[in-house]
Amino acid sequence: MSEKYHNNFLKEVEEMVEEGEWVKMCMQCGVCAGSCPLGPHWAHPPQEIFMMIRAGKREEVLRSDSMWMCTSCYNCVVRCPRKLPITHIMHGLANYAHRLGLSPKNQPTQQFATLFWNNLAQTGRVNELKLSLGIYFKDGFAQGVKNAMAMQSVGLGMVKAKRLNPMELFGGHGVKDKTGFHAMLKKAKEIEDRRKNFA
């Protein structure tokens, strides 16, 4: 058997990916691919990803950037005649590929997801100012200054409208029980690591 094909990949997805047990229910009607506003621009729209999983194309699926492009618009979910939770499966596959270290490098939505998570995990609430700066400066200082200058009118408008608080640079808001929040994240990581070791 070619290394590119893994006969048990469907079973692996069923066991390891959130909502992965639904993939076998796909009847390849193509409604999701036709409903996805962005699918035609991806290497593999959802219908194709599900077909590739069943065909055992493990590397091709897990290294794909298609799952990272899903905007969670839920168009596909409301139209799927088999009621597959397509959006959740796409995010579950992206998450699984990330856990295995197989997700594509420098993929913009993956970079945003990582910045967002690291930001949120500090205090339990997103610090919009630090998140925006993190995005602007992700490609270095010079590019960051250019990005910030290009967006300054938007930023100032948000400050005026009280949607952005400059003081958040020095701390910002968070959940009341930060200790409990971090304990919850630690527990979730332990569970995730157990699953990773099982993979």
Give every CB contact of residue 144 below 8 A, 6+ residues apart in sequence.
133, 136, 137, 138
For the CB of residue 28, give the shortest distance to ligand SF4 in the complex, in Å.
Answer: 5
Rule CB under 6 A: is residue 61 a binding residue for ligand SF4?
A: no
Contact status: 66 vs ligand SF4 (CB under 6 A) = no
CB-side neighbour CA atoms (13 Å) of 144: 12
> CB of 52: closest distance to ligand SF4 in angstroms?
12
Q: Which is nearer to ligand SF4, 82 or 173 (CB)?
A: 82
Applying CB under 6 A, which of residues 10, 36, 62, 97 lies at the interface with ligand SF4? 36
- Nearer to ligand SF4 by Cβ, of 7 and 71: the residue is 71
Choosing from 8, 30, 121, 156, the residue that interacts with ligand SF4 (CB under 6 A) is 30
Among residues 83, 80, 85, the alpha carbon closest in space to that of 32 is found at 80
What mask, x for binding ligand SF4 by CB under 6 A, covers residues 69 to 98?
-xxxxxxx---xxx-x-xx--x--------
Half-sphere CA count of 34, side-chain side, radius 13 A: 7
Q: What is the 3-state secondary structure of 34-74?
A: HHCCCHHHCCCCHHHHHHHHHCCCHHHHHCCCCHHHCCCCC
Point out which residues bind ligand SF4 (CB under 6 A). Answer: 26-32, 35-36, 38-39, 46-47, 50, 70-76, 80-82, 84, 86-87, 90
